Amino acid sequence: MNRALIVIDVQESFRAQPGWEQIGNPKIADPVNRLVRRAREDSDLVVWVLHAEPGSGGAFDPANGHVRLMDELARPLPGEPTLQKTSHNAFTTTNLQQLLTEAGVRELAVCGIRTEQCVETTTRLASDLGYQVLFVIDATTTNPVGGFSVEEITARTEAVLRDRFARIVTVAELA
């Protein structure tokens, strides 16, 4: 196993917040499920990552029940870890790097919610740690931020990551 699919923050917490109706792709589970199927067919490791803010009282507080995979996502199989992070990237507050090292993973495909935030930040750190990263652009989504549209944010993320931190790919290229 040389590759892992990292599914970042595709969780019910986002639907529980105001603004979900502005998300770029409300059907984000569809392309993610395609990637999961392909990863499993290729015997790649699938790692599920959820963002949590314990004690916050908000949608990301595990006590409120929204810190769980979106209902329409494939369910994790035995051996597929589900990690909870409390930072923007999937490495700093989890044992992700240890899991990947133990599995012999050198290449990551990343997807998920908040293209420019948690998915991009995880990509940058993974690259710094020496992983080859595939950023699956059409299996990420976000909301408009700071006057920028989803399309502008996605184009910016693609531009700053391309050939510096990741290879930008599509679901069709991988699945």
Residues with catalytic roles: 118
| 3-state SS assignment for residue 53 | coil
Beta bridge partners, 83, equal 49
Q: Where are the beta strands (DSSP E) in the chain?
A: 3-8, 45-51, 82-85, 107-113, 132-141, 167-169
Phi, psi of 100 (to 5 degrees): -65, -40
Burial class of residue 53, CB neighbours in 10 A (0-12, 13-18, 19+)? middle
Neighbours of 84 (CB within 10 A): 15
| 3-state SS assignment for residue 31 | helix
